[in-house]
Amino acid sequence: MQDGGMRCDVNVSVRRKGDPVLGTKVEIKNMNSFSAMQKAIEYETQRQGGLLAAGRGSEIRQETRLFDEAAGATAPMRVKEGLADYRYFAEPDLPPGGLPAGALERAAAALAARAQPAALRATLAAAGLPAADVLLLTDDVGTARFFEAVLEAGAPAKAAANWVVGDVMAAVRALGEGGSFATLPLLPSTLAQMVALIEDGTLSGKLGKALLPLLLAGRGAGDGGVAALAKAEGLVQVSDPAAIETLVDGVLAAFPAQLAEYRGGKTKLQGFFVGELMKASKGAANPGLLNKELARKLKGGE
């Protein structure tokens, strides 16, 4: 192989369909291409099958044959007269062994309780995840088990996948050699809590990004969980309509010239006001409510 070539042997045996007895094995030696190997197998299968069909199965001998590429046929080299010629003998240093009763059943049950890539891939595909994300989440057993635990804690598959495939995987890579989901301080249940808070509007995606480094360091798993940590860090999304209105009024009052230009037809300034509002709220204002209230105020609503 180091010279860009190959040399391989194949064993072929044929038996009638339903016959419990294995057919006589014939070894074909020293083929140097996949094409030759395929042709040799096809020829030898037909040769042995023809002898069996003609009632001449006894003519199939345990032997070594060569494949003649020019003729497209195999030819005898030497006959193997017994198992000793193939060096088949028991290993004297290995005593006979066996499995305890029920060992296979217990092993199967243990496997069923763990992450099964095929089943998990089917579940994630049915949930609408992109094929690339499905593969990333299931190709490594540690990733699969972590993600399954996040789902079992109640997180929606799509929302959880976005965090695991992106920020959480990046954090695992940053751990360096030996780092894994198993050694990550972030618990699956903690991530599921954060995703739930984003889903119910308590956090925004941006606030989740700000909170995640704390969770990756192992925080948020104690009393009060992620919700208490977000509140303590001032990262809870502002969704109170009265607070949003006060915020919008304050920013519009701070930029009267820009407000006059907007109402004079320079509507692109709406983006300017959105940026100022996000600065004023430190990214904590609910974007949907903020944009709705801003649009109303820009049109002269009181």
What is the SS3 assignment for 30?
strand
Kindly state the tokens that stand for 249: 């009024």
The answer on 224 and 205 residing in a single domain is yes
The answer on 221 and 126 residing in a single domain is yes
Q: How many domains does the chain have?
A: 3
* 55 part of a folded domain: yes
Q: Which pLDDT value is given to residue 256? A: 86
Q: Of 194, 211, 232, which residue constitutes the final position of a domain?
A: 232
The answer on 251 and 194 residing in a single domain is no
* 131 part of a folded domain: yes
The answer on 258 and 168 residing in a single domain is no
The answer on 218 and 257 residing in a single domain is no
The answer on 257 and 193 residing in a single domain is no
> 142-194 pLDDT, tens per residue?
888 898 889 988 888 888 899 999 989 899 888 887 778 888 898 999 999 99
Per-residue confidence band for 106, with pLDDT thresholds at 50, 70 and 90: confident
Q: What are phi and psi of 2, to 5 degrees?
A: -65, -20
Please check the confidence at residue 46 and state whether its pLDDT lies above 70. Answer: yes
- Residue with structure tokens 């040399």? 7
Q: Of 43, 70, 86, which residue constitutes the final position of a domain?
A: 86
The H or E element containing residue 151 is: helix 141-152
Kindly state the tokens that stand for 54: 């003609």
Q: The domain containing residue 77 runs over which residues? A: 8-86
The answer on 245 and 220 residing in a single domain is no
